[in-house]
Amino acid sequence: MAVVISVPAEVRAGENRVALVPDIVKKLTGAGNTVQVQAGAGEGAGYSNDDYVAAGATIAANDNLLSNADIVLSVNPLTAEQLQKLRDNSILIGYQNPWSETSRFQLLLTKGVSAFSMELVPRISRAQAMDALSSQASIAGYKAVLMAASLSGKFFPMLTTAAGTVRPSKVLIIGAGVAGLQAIATARRLGAMVEAYDVRTAVKEQVESLGAKFVDVGIKAEGSGGYARELTEEEKQQQQAILARHVAAADVVICTAAVPGRASPKIITTDMVNAMKGGAVIVDLAAEGGGNCELTRTGETITHQRIVIHGPVNVPATVPNHASELYAKNLYNLLDLIIRDGKLQVDLEDQIIRDSLITHAGDIVNAAVRERLQASGN
Ligand code: NAD
């Protein structure tokens, strides 16, 4: 029996991505799987129903395709109504928001669903091709620079014109992880002078190799799994004192600093914004987690004393074609571990499977999620 894979249309407002693109559907159907796509699912990313049919998929008029699927692939977490439709013991793969609205997990447990969370794919080399956080962060970093350039009243590059020479914009990137490094590269391509700061001093070399200057505030905050740890109060003050000078000199600040599972660290205070130049721009990619700037309003663009502060949400969805292409490849590579010789297998001995599974056969599998739920009494 062929494995049945279903792709519902995303229901989140403003979501233009889709979990599978036709090229990946073709690979899956070519390998003997059945793929069902909800009508219009690829529309926002530039794919018609006909494109999916040409790749071997069937089109379903509504999300009833959830109830007969062995595997459901999504970008965003399914709604409670969609979760109800899942077949008992089926597999769900997508973003699951593992640290919030955890009451959803109860339904997954009751139904025996194996729910894989793309946020929890471990940061180990074998899993790099499945790492959706990285593929989507890279897109967000690129787009943040374009957003900043269009909000700024200045050129990014130095320009020598008959009317005089224009100095290049100074861009400060806060957080040099995947999004930050892509933001550095993009701002450099546009000709800006770029500085970057991260609490993980290990990234200094990467920052410099992209042609940016590393701002050293003398704090080391390497945490586990390649992530940063939270700073102590004392460290935060030390960080702010040094960063304040660099923020004041910047034409554009792009914030990308995050600590997984926690609210975004507040790095740019109101006082620091008050000291910025008129017309300066802050693009806060951490807005969804509350923002790295104290004044950021999630999903809004505000002007505070002539400084523009942009707090976009779901930035990858604004580059939906390539974002979907990369996300679909991430899913395809993860599916390679789950569909073996045309049969489903969930091998809990495999670290990638064990870490990225939230629920399986009525149990919470990911250790950190289990601890968090136990601590909150759920
Ligand atoms: P992230 O989105 O969690 O954070 C973004 C950046 O913000 C990180 O570089 C972090 O150090 C920084 N940050 C956090 N708190 C800060 C603070 N108070 N001040 C300044 N900066 C702060 O991280 P990410 O980009 O998803 O990944 C972080 C790193 O993990 C990557 O750069 C990479 O080295 C590693 N990684 C490894 C793999 C792998 O081996 N498979 C895959 C992806 C990422």
Mean pLDDT of 199-210: 94
Q: How far away, in angstroms, is 253 Cα from ligand 1 center?
A: 18
Task: Write b or e for each residue in 144-160: b if 16 or more Cβ atoms lie within 10 A of its Cβ, otherwise e.
Answer: bbbbbbebbebbbeeee
Confidence at residue 239, expressed as pLDDT on a 0 to 100 scale: 86
Contact status, residue 321 vs residue 292, Cβ threshold 8 Å: no
Closest by CA to 174, choosing from 289, 279, 292, 311, is: 292
pLDDT tens figures, 149-160: 999 999 999 999
Residue 227 designated active-site: yes
222 touches 202 (CB < 8 A): yes
pLDDT tens, position by position, 293-329: 999 999 999 999 999 999 999 999 999 999 999 999 9
Ligand 1 pocket mutation pick from 142, 227, 334 by most atoms within 8 angstroms of CB: 227
At residue 223, φ and ψ (nearest 5 deg) are -105, -150
Q: How far apart are CA 30 and CA 141, in angstroms?
A: 34
pTM of the predicted model as reported, rounded to 2 decimal places: 0.95
**Nearest C-alpha to atom 4 of ligand 1 is from which residue?**
258
Which residues contact ligand 1 via a Cβ below 6 A?
123-125, 127-128, 131, 133-134, 137, 174-180, 197-200, 226-228, 231, 256-260, 265, 267
Question: Is residue 225 over pLDDT 80?
Answer: no
> For residues 25 and 92, what is the distance between their CA atoms, to the nearest angstrom?
17
Q: Which residues contact 293 (CB under 8 A, 6 or more apart)?
A: 253, 255, 266, 267, 268, 273, 282, 284, 309
